[in-house]
Amino acid sequence: METLLTLYPNAQDLLATPAEDLAPVLLKLAKGTVQNGMFWPDTVNEIATGDHTIPRQLGYPLHQRQQIATLLAQAWSWIERNGLIVRASGTNGHNGWMIFTQQGEQVSDATDIQKLRAAAEFPKSLIHPAIAENVWRALMRNDLHHAVLAAFIAVEEAVRSAGKFADSDYGVKLMRDAFHPESGPLTDLTRPHSEREGLQQLFAGAILSYKNPNSHRTGNVSDLREAQEQVVLASHLLRIVDARRKG
């Protein structure tokens, strides 16, 4: 059974996740605890964090559990505030039991825990540090469009900054100027001409293929693995820029 503990083995990654991004996971886990049409959020929390296990040491580290408890409380508050769950009627509700609204049922049914796990298993270390937090969280919430677009906008901004270009310089022309085989400020003249030309085409092609389409319309990326690969490409380009900046 997937839980927050399996999706976020590192407590710091969990704590860096916005409360609303945890909502679908908690609702999916809550669905598995429903009794007589009701569930108790505290029980869901215990399952999600491993605190229902014996010994409890199998869950998150003791010194981080209070922070995690606060985050989960914020997530449940967001869920209730957005009309995904409501208190059960009568004494049950007064004792903390909740029920799904129709919208909450839909979110729970649509949540693909396996897809969330596939996203969580993608090593954050493969993403350039400058974009890691923002892009990794976007991948985790399956916002593939935003993840890819943010990654390649970061490439564009890094090239502009490292090459000392104006804010009005952008896109494919910026890449071609920055990595011009003869005069580009980010060109390594010690490399063979064919390699310099290839790098210019790589940067220009990446912006043309991945940044520009996502700037103009959504829905270009629908496959998680494809989005992850594009993010890795953007990270590779950022590392090249870093090296040229240092050089």
28 pLDDT more than 70: yes
Q: Rounded CA gap, 133 and 155, in Å?
A: 16
Q: What is the pLDDT of residues 97-123, one digit of tens each?
A: 999 999 899 888 877 777 777 777 788
Q: Residue 121, exposed/middle/buried by CB under 10 A (0-12, 13-18, 19+)?
A: exposed
Of 241 and 111, more confident: 241
Question: How many CA atoms lie less than 13 Å away from 68 in the CB half-sphere?
Answer: 23
Q: Is the peptide bond before 55 cis (omega within 30 degrees of 0)?
A: yes
Q: What is the pLDDT of residues 192-202, one digit of tens each?
A: 999 999 999 99
Q: Burial-class residue 246 by CB neighbours within 10 Å (0-12, 13-18, 19+).
A: exposed
Round to whole Å and give the CA distance between 122 and 58: 23
Asked whether 224 and 118 are in contact (CB, 8 A), the reply is: yes
Determine the Cα–Cα distance for residues 233 and 156; give it in Å rounded to an integer: 13
Q: Which residue has the tokens 């209730």?
A: 80
Task: Answer for the pair 23, 79: CB distance below 8 angstroms, yes or no.
Answer: yes
Q: Which of 108, 200, 218 is nearest to 163 (CA)?
A: 200
* SS3 assignment, position 87: strand
For 240: left if phi > 0, alpha if psi spans -120 to 50, otherwise beta; the answer is: alpha
CA atoms 202, 204, 209, 214: torsion sign: positive
pTM of the model: 0.69
Summarised one tens digit per residue, pLDDT across range 38-63 is 999 999 999 889 876 555 556 888 89
Distances (CA, A) of 177 to 167, 194, 236: 14, 16, 19
Task: Count CA within 13 A, CB hemisphere, residue 50.
Answer: 19
How much is the mean pLDDT over the chain?
Answer: 90
DSSP 57: G
User: Which pLDDT score is estimated for 220?
Assistant: 74
d(CA 210, CA 221): 9
